[in-house]
Amino acid sequence: MASSSDSTLAAANIDAKNEKNSNITVSGKTSANNTKMTIATIQKAYHDILKDPTSLDEAAHYLYQSLLDDAVVGVFLEIHHLHRTGNLDALDGVPEEGTDASYRIVDMPNYDIFGISSVKKLMDCTCPNCDRPVSASRFAPHLEKCMGMGRNSSRIASRRLATKEGTSASSSSSSSYLQTTVGTDDEDDIDWSSEKRRKKTNQGNRNNGSKKNNGKSF
């Protein structure tokens, strides 16, 4: 990055400094040698400081203090800049009109943090696949059949629609689920959430504690 003209400025500066410290002898030595000597001097003095526990302590305290003061200036500059650009007020916005009590967390037995008693919610949602309204707590079983993944499902068309989207994350298809899925189309009305079966596929299991990711594609 430094061209020859760049270093002239800096070099000129060093010469000016050297003239101030008249303990540098004027001789045939180049300024580069002088530099090397001074650097070595600094490093020797520094090592001497570090070797002695008291001065090491002093050095650490000095550094902490001056770096802390410097950090204060840094924060000040940040705020100063925001102030100059008018962003300080922009960031602040308008002050809130008193604390809005309606967001306060409720901490009482039999109530959740919103102050609602723990009652099962009945909600509807719209199935993104078939656009029909479906009861939320039965959405998952509906979706399975809707996307043609249920064991006895004959909705090949919706399956084609589903497989058009995105790529398969793995070669093991939903066939492993077909073996273990229980139930037929007749069981739409049964509340599945009461029957929670846990299944873990063997897909991607490695020995040595699976350090790599299951199903992570690169």
Partner 1 sequence: MTLTKTVDQATILSGDRSKLKDLLCNRLAECGWRDEVRLMCRNIIKEKGNNIKVEQLIADVTPRARASVPDAVKKELLMKIKAILAAQEGIDL
Partner 2 sequence: MGETGCKHFQAYVKEQSLDTFRIIDAYFSACVNKDAREKKALSCCCFECGSYGLQVYACLHCIYFGCRGAHIATHLRAKKHSIALELSHGTLYCNSCRDFIYDTRCREIAGVNRRLEAKDLSKSLSWQPWIPTPKETNLLLANPRRRRIRANETIGLRGLINLGSTCFMNCIVQALIHTPLLSDYFLSERHECNAKSSLKCLVCEVSRLFQEFYSGSRSPLSLHRLLHLIWNHAKHLAGYEQQDAHEFFIATLDVLHRHCIKAKTEVESANKLNNATSSSGSGTGGGSGSGGHNTNTNTNVNSNCPTQCNCIIDQIFTGMLQSDVVCQECKGVSTTIDPFWDISLDLGETAHGGSTPKTLIDCLERYTRAEHLGEYGKIKCSTCKSYQESTKQFSLRTLPSVASFHLKRFEHVSTLIGKKVSTFISFPVELDMTPFMSEKNNAYGDFRYSLYAVVNHVGTIDSGHYIAYVRHHKDTWVKCDDHIITTATLKQVLDSEGYLLFYHKNILEYE
Verify binding: residue 127, partner 2, rule CB under 8 A.
Answer: yes
Verify binding: residue 44, partner 2, rule CB under 8 A.
Answer: no
**DSSP sequence for 164-176:** HSS--S-SS-THH
Q: Are 156 and 148 contacting, i.e. CB atoms less than 8 angstroms apart?
A: yes
Alpha-carbon separation of residue 165 from 46, 147, 156, 159, 216 (angstroms)? 66, 12, 15, 10, 19
Left, alpha or beta for 178 (phi > 0: left; psi -120 to 50: alpha)?
Answer: alpha
Residues 83-112 that bind partner 1 (CB under 8 A): 83, 88
26 binds, options partner 2, partner 1, none, Cβ within 5 to 8 A by partner type:
none
We find the least distance from the C-beta atom of residue 2 to partner 2, in angstroms, to be: 7
We find the least distance from the C-beta atom of residue 53 to partner 2, in angstroms, to be: 19
Distance between CA atoms of 148 and 169, rounded to whole angstroms?
18
Reduced to 3 states (helix: H, G, I; strand: E, B; else coil), residue 135 is strand
Stretch near partner 2 under the rule CB under 8 A, chosen from 22-30, 52-60, 119-127: 119-127
Q: Which lies closer to partner 1 via its Cβ, residue 70 or residue 124?
A: 70
We find the least distance from the C-beta atom of residue 22 to partner 2, in angstroms, to be: 14
Left, alpha or beta for 159 (phi > 0: left; psi -120 to 50: alpha)?
Answer: alpha
Reduced to 3 states (helix: H, G, I; strand: E, B; else coil), residue 132 is coil
We find the least distance from the C-beta atom of residue 58 to partner 2, in angstroms, to be: 15
Verify binding: residue 47, partner 1, rule CB under 8 A.
Answer: yes
Residues that bind partner 1 (rule: CB under 8 A) add up to a total of 34
Verify binding: residue 81, partner 1, rule CB under 8 A.
Answer: no
Verify binding: residue 46, partner 1, rule CB under 8 A.
Answer: yes
Sole binder of partner 1 in the list 6, 15, 19, 57 (CB under 8 A): 57
Spell 105-118 as b/e; 16+ CB within 10 A means b.
eeeeeeeeeeeeee
The one-letter code for the residue type at 161 is L
Q: Which lies closer to partner 1 via its Cβ, residue 31 or residue 55?
A: 55
We find the least distance from the C-beta atom of residue 107 to partner 1, in angstroms, to be: 25
Reduced to 3 states (helix: H, G, I; strand: E, B; else coil), residue 133 is strand
Contacts of 74 (CB under 8 A, 6+ apart): none
We find the least distance from the C-beta atom of residue 54 to partner 1, in angstroms, to be: 10
Residues that bind partner 1 (CB under 8 A): 39, 42-43, 45-47, 49-51, 55-64, 67-76, 78-80, 83, 88
